[in-house]
Structure 1
Amino acid sequence: MSKTKAWIHAFRLRTLPLALSNIFLGSLLAVADGGFSLKIFLLATLTTLFLQILSNLANDLGDSISGADNEERVGPQRAVQSGVISKKEMIRMVIVFVILSLAAGLWLLWEGLQFLSYTQGFIMLGLGILAIAAAINYTVGKNPYGYSGFGDLFVFIFFGLLGVLGTYFLHVGSLHWSLLLPASAVGLLCVGVLNLNNLRDEVNDAKSGKKTLVVILGRKCAKIYHLMLIGMAMILACIYTYLHWISPFQLLFVLSFPFLIRNMVVVSKNEQPQELDPELKRLALSTLLFSLTFGIGLIL
């Protein structure tokens, strides 16, 4: 593998559609409520992509340092693990994406100040810094939260609640409580992708001391948990639609349900962890489809 290919592999491009799901949904919800800024949308998208790549690079580095990336790992070989990219090179690239994420985030906030007070701006800045810290501390540091079963909670908060609500707020300058429903739905689907990843890596994670929620719960309970995540996401979307019913176009998001249900069936029947690897990309794309159809259905 060439170094260029190794870096592209380390960026884990297949995770990017998942990262965009919350930005797209938050922006489409804003359009439906009469508020949208193209600059906010583009900058939020750029910031999120930088944060996702930062998280992927930090995860590659952290799992390499901890020993979670080894020959027994089921998923694709990581960049540092392969030896093509050194730990020093990975650390430097992590720093580059911290700077890029911070720069894009500050620009985003600057544009958002036309709708926000300075107090709100400082709160958003604090949340942005927390997002950068969370992206790194998932597997890097003395006490990475991804090794203590808290990865699911952080994904739900940052990829669901903060991602959708924060994007909407930057567009519109206000929030209403029912937005928690679609924001939570996307958050739960994103957690589902993480849970798939952890189901695939359960055996090796347990051996290397990485206590994901799957390792803590056990495979059988983790499968039930997965069904609850996907099922609850669909229910929350239906509740929001019921509360804000205007036209049948709002049911467009139901087009994503067959793909989500298929994922639930595959996971419930799975006996070979390695067979779950392609499901990560499928569920990520299904989550993006859900976000797009949900938001577009509100606009039509």
Structure 2
Amino acid sequence: MNAWRLFKKASRFGVIPVMMVPVVLGALGAYVWEGVFHPLLFVLTFTGAAAAHLFSNMINDLWDYRSGADTEAKNTPGAISTNSGFLAAGVLSERVFGAITWSLFAVALICGLLLSVLAGPELLWFVAGGAVLAYFYVAPPLRFGYRGRGYSELAIFLAFGLMPVTGSYFVQTGEFGWKPVLLSLPVGLLTTLLLFNHHFLHWRADQRAGKKTVVVALGERRALRLSRLMLYVAYASVVVCASLGALPWYALLALPTAVPLIGAYRRLGAENPSQAYLPLMGASRSASVRCGSVMALALLLQGLIG
């Protein structure tokens, strides 16, 4: 395996669109509503957000390995690990894995500091907040991703919805507003749903490792009902955005992207083996990216036609 392929697998590079879509939405909002777009600031925002996301993936893997959750998922029959597995399998040493992880953090930090100079010191709050959410998601002493009280879901909504959309908008305009907050709701909620659903793949292993996610806390049946509710709330927020002017009416074309995900839920029973949740995971990721992409295209079209 060459270095680039190894890096992509270790950092789970394939999930990067769930961060890139909200960054693009924030910049498009600035272009459509305020008529501004600064390419250099956008590139810095895009690069910093991507590095922060990959750092988050890898630091979570690192602490899941140290806590035993990654090894437990690997050794539990039927459980499907969503980590890279490089540490548990010995593909990379902890030292090398850590060096790559903190290099990504350095890239994100440099981009954030540059943006705070070029766009405004308020960006430092986003840098600090993003660092805290990424690191302490599974790292001690907070480990809020292990507490099973919805802290991790709130963190995901902030990190993949509210912060990248409003932050990207602020970088371009130098101000905040209610429209980017509204715009963050659909993508933030759908990414939260994606991260929530991935716990179904290994919730029994999490339970044995002491990782108390909401799925572990509620149990499979009740967690599945909550998951469906989150889906409907996420797509209802698209309608809210269109109704209040944060999106043009034709952004409602994003609603059909929910259909495959609804179908995935219908194929599940009250109790399911871990493998049964793989289609739900795939449909959740597709819904998040496709819905956000349609929203972005609708905003771009609105900006082009005036």
**Structure 1 length normalisation: TM-score?**
0.88
Q: Does 1:106 align with 2:113?
A: yes
Distance between the aligned counterparts of 1:158 and 1:246, measured in 2? 21
Structure 1, residues 42-62: CA drift from partner, whole Å, max 9, x if none?
A: 211111110111011111111
**What are the ranges of 5 or more consecutive residues in structure 1 without an aligned counterpart?**
114-120
Question: Quick check: 1:292 aligned with 2:293?
Answer: yes
Counterpart CA distance in 2 for 1:234 and 1:285 is 14
| Shift of residue 171, structure 1, vs aligned partner | 1.4
Aligned to 1:79: 86
Distance in 2 (CA, whole Å) between partners of 1:156 and 1:297 is 22
Moved more, 281-290 or 92-101: 281-290
Aligned partner of 1:14 in structure 2 is: 14
Deviations 1:233-273 (A, max 9, x none): 11111011022289653333234232443344355677222
Specify the SS of the correspondent of 1:85.
coil
How far apart are 1:298 and its partner, in Å? 3.0
Task: Describe how 1:84-95 pairs up with structure 2 within 5 A.
Answer: 84-95=91-102
Q: Per-residue deviation at 1:6?
A: 4.2
Quote the residue 1:275 is aligned against: 276
Q: CA deviation at 1:278?
A: 5.0
Aligned residues: 292
- Aligned twin of 2:304: none
Q: 1:71-112 CA deviation, whole Å, 9 max, x = no partner? A: 114225511111111112222222211211101212233332
* Separation in 2, partners of 1:216, 1:39: 45
State how far apart, in whole Å, the 2-side matches of 1:279 and 1:2 are: 31
Conserved 8 A contact 1:19-1:159 = yes
SS of residue matched to 1:142 = coil
Alignment of 1:140-289 (within 5 A): 140-149=139-148, 150-244=151-245, 248-266=249-267, 271-289=272-290
Alpha-carbon distance between aligned partners in 2 of 1:46 and 1:270, rounded to the nearest angstrom: 41
Give the structure-2-normalised TM-score.
Answer: 0.87
- List per-residue Cα deviations over 1:107-135 (Å, max 9, x = no partner): 2333324xxxxxxx1x3212212212321
- Compare 267-276 and 191-200 and name the one that shifted more: 267-276
Alpha-carbon shift at residue 3 of structure 1 (Å): 7.0
Q: CA RMSD in A?
A: 2.3
Bigger CA drift: 259-268 or 272-281?
A: 259-268
Partner Cα distance (1:193, 1:163) in 2: 17
Deviates more, 1:183-192 or 1:280-289: 280-289
Distance 2:31 2:292 in 1: 14
Which runs of 5 or more structure 2 residues have no equivalent in the other structure?
Answer: 302-306
**Is contact 1:249-1:298 (8 Å) kept?**
no
Match for residue 130 of structure 2?
Answer: 131
